[in-house]
Amino acid sequence: MAGIAAQGAGNKGFTNCTKLCTIWQEVRKMDYIVPISEARGMLPELIKKISSAGKRLIITKNGRAEAVMMSPEELETLEIMADQKLLRSILRAEEDIRNGQLYSHKDVFKNV
């Protein structure tokens, strides 16, 4: 990450690089960062924190991020956001609901 910060440091104004670094720093403030040596003995407690606080756990090894733990709900959200077709489908469905375009179970499963 230091390499990315250094690249943007010489430029005036906000570059894509400094924006990325700023976002990354904010994300890191919100997440738990724990060395693997500590995580081993605290796993049940860390899992409880992740599920109750909705935060991610970044596990480090020798000072570098090696793994990330997150709640199943957050993983599902990330997967949906990564799948543009599914995301568009969900947004269309929500719009249909707002517009009152609803179908009965009979209508939905009639042609299945």
pLDDT at 29: 54
Q: Enumerate the domain spans of the chain.
A: 1-30
pLDDT at 76: 86
- Is 91 a residue whose pLDDT tops 70? yes
Name the band, by pLDDT with cuts 50, 70 and 90, for residue 53.
confident
Give the pLDDT confidence of 56-83 residue by residue, as tens digits. Answer: 899 999 999 999 999 888 888 888 878 8
Local structure of residue 100 (DSSP, 8 states): T
Residue 58 pairs with which residues in a beta bridge? 33, 68
Give the pLDDT confidence of 93-107 residue by residue, as tens digits. Answer: 999 999 999 888 888
Q: With contact defined as beta carbons under 8 Å apart, do 53 and 45 qualify? A: no
Q: With contact defined as beta carbons under 8 Å apart, do 90 and 80 qualify? A: yes
Could you tell me the pTM of the whole model?
A: 0.51
